[in-house]
Structure 1
C-alpha cells in the first residue's frame, strides 16, 4: 500500500500535470496564464537558435498559451506558423492571444502565411510528409507518452535540412542526458546541446 506521503505526492503531481503538463479545466487555464508570464524570456532565447527566415514554415508542438506562436508569427511574416497541442484549454488561450495575427493573415489571404492552431497529439500529427523547415517544442517532450515516437513523427513532417529545437526551462524537470542520442536514433543529424542560465535547448537537423 502507498504511504500517506506517497499519496500526497501523487495528488500534487496530478495537479501539476493539470496545470502545466497537459493543462485541463480551471487549473489548466490558470497554468496557461502563469506560463505566459514566466516563459516569455526563455522563449525569446530559444527562437533565434532556429534561424527562422521570413518565409519559414514552422511547427510548434505543445504551444501552451501561445507565447511562442505570437513571436513566431512576427518572425515568419510571410511563411506559416502551425501549432499542435493536446490541451483544448491551451488551444483556446493561444487562439485568443493570436487572434489578430490569425485574422490579419486570413484577410490578406496569404495562403502560406496563415497561423493554424490544432488540437492533437505529437504521436499522430495531422500533416503530410516533408512540410516544415523548422520545428519547436518548449517544455513539452517530458509529457509525451512516447518520446521516440513523437520525435519520429516530427521528423516525418519536416523537410530535408529542416531544423528542430527541443527546449526546457530549469523548472521542467527534464535532464539533458541522452537527448542528443535520442534525436540521432530518431533519424536526425548534428544533434547538439546549448545551455543558458534559464535552461537548455537541443538542436538537430533532418
Structure 2
C-alpha cells in the first residue's frame, strides 16, 4: 500500500482542493499513513485527523508521521467510518482511499462522514487499481447519502470521486 498509494495520495489530495491552510482534514482508513504525510505537507498549519481501526496501521502511520504528530498537526484515532470519534461539523474536508468497499455499511459510513463535515466541505473517495476499483453505483451511493456536486475522475493512478457536503438551506 505504501508504494502504490503515494501517487494516488498526491492526486487525491490535489483534487480534494482544500484551500484554507489551517483546515482540519479527516482521513478515514489511513493504512500506512501515506495520505496523512501528503496532507501534512500540503497543509503544514492545518490539522490532519486520521481514523483507522487497525493497530498495525496506527503503528506504521505513527512511525511515518512522527514529526507531525510531535508538532500536534496530526492526530491518529481508533475508530471506523460508521462511528467516527469526532463532534458534529468538526472537519473541513474528508478523504478515504482504497477502503470504502470494506466498510460494513457504506451508506451509514457516508452519513457519518456528512455528520462530521461542515456544510460545503469536500469529500474525496479514491481507489487504486490494486484495490480492484470502486464498487458499482458509487455515485448513486453518494447521492443517497445526500452529497452534491459529485464528479468522477479516472487517471493512471485509478478512480477518484469528489463530492461536497450540501450547504445549509436558509
TM-score normalised to the size of structure 1?
Answer: 0.77
Shift of the 196–42 alpha-carbon distance from structure 1 to 2, 3 Å rule, reads same
Distance 1:163 1:56 in 2: 12
Distance 1:69 1:160 in 2: 23
Deviation at 1:132, TM superposition (A): 0.8
Residue of structure 1 equivalent to 2:16? 50
Distance 1:101 1:125 in 2: 22
The DSSP-based 3-state class of the residue aligned with 1:37 is helix
Residue of structure 2 equivalent to 1:161? 120
Distance 1:143 1:176 in 2: 10
**Higher mean C-alpha deviation, range 148-157 or range 114-123:** 114-123
Distance 2:134 2:65 in 1: 31
What pairs with 1:75-154 in structure 2 (closer than 5 Å)?
Answer: 75-103=42-70, 105-106=71-72, 114-154=73-113
Residue of structure 1 equivalent to 2:2? 36
The DSSP-based 3-state class of the residue aligned with 1:151 is helix
1:35-54 CA deviation, whole Å, 9 max, x = no partner?
11221112111110011231
**How many residues matched?**
164
1:71-91 CA deviation, whole Å, 9 max, x = no partner?
111111212100001211001
Distance 2:74 2:101 in 1: 25
Distance 1:183 1:100 in 2: 35
The DSSP-based 3-state class of the residue aligned with 1:159 is coil
Instruction: Specify which structure has the higher proportion of helix.
Output: 1
Residue of structure 2 equivalent to 1:202? 161
State the 4+ residue runs in structure 1 displaced beyond 2 angstroms: 174-177
The DSSP-based 3-state class of the residue aligned with 2:142 is helix
- Which protein has the larger Cα radius of gyration, Structure 1 or Structure 2? 1
Residue of structure 2 equivalent to 1:68? 35
The answer to whether the Cα contact below 8 Å between 1:52 and 1:75 also exists between their aligned partners in 2 is: no
Residue of structure 2 equivalent to 1:22? none
What pairs with 1:7-22 in structure 2 (closer than 5 Å)?
Answer: none
Distance 2:84 2:2 in 1: 24
Structure 2 runs not aligned, ≥5 long: 166-170
Deviation at 1:177, TM superposition (A): 3.4
Structure 1 runs not aligned, ≥5 long: 1-34, 107-113
Deviation at 1:187, TM superposition (A): 1.0
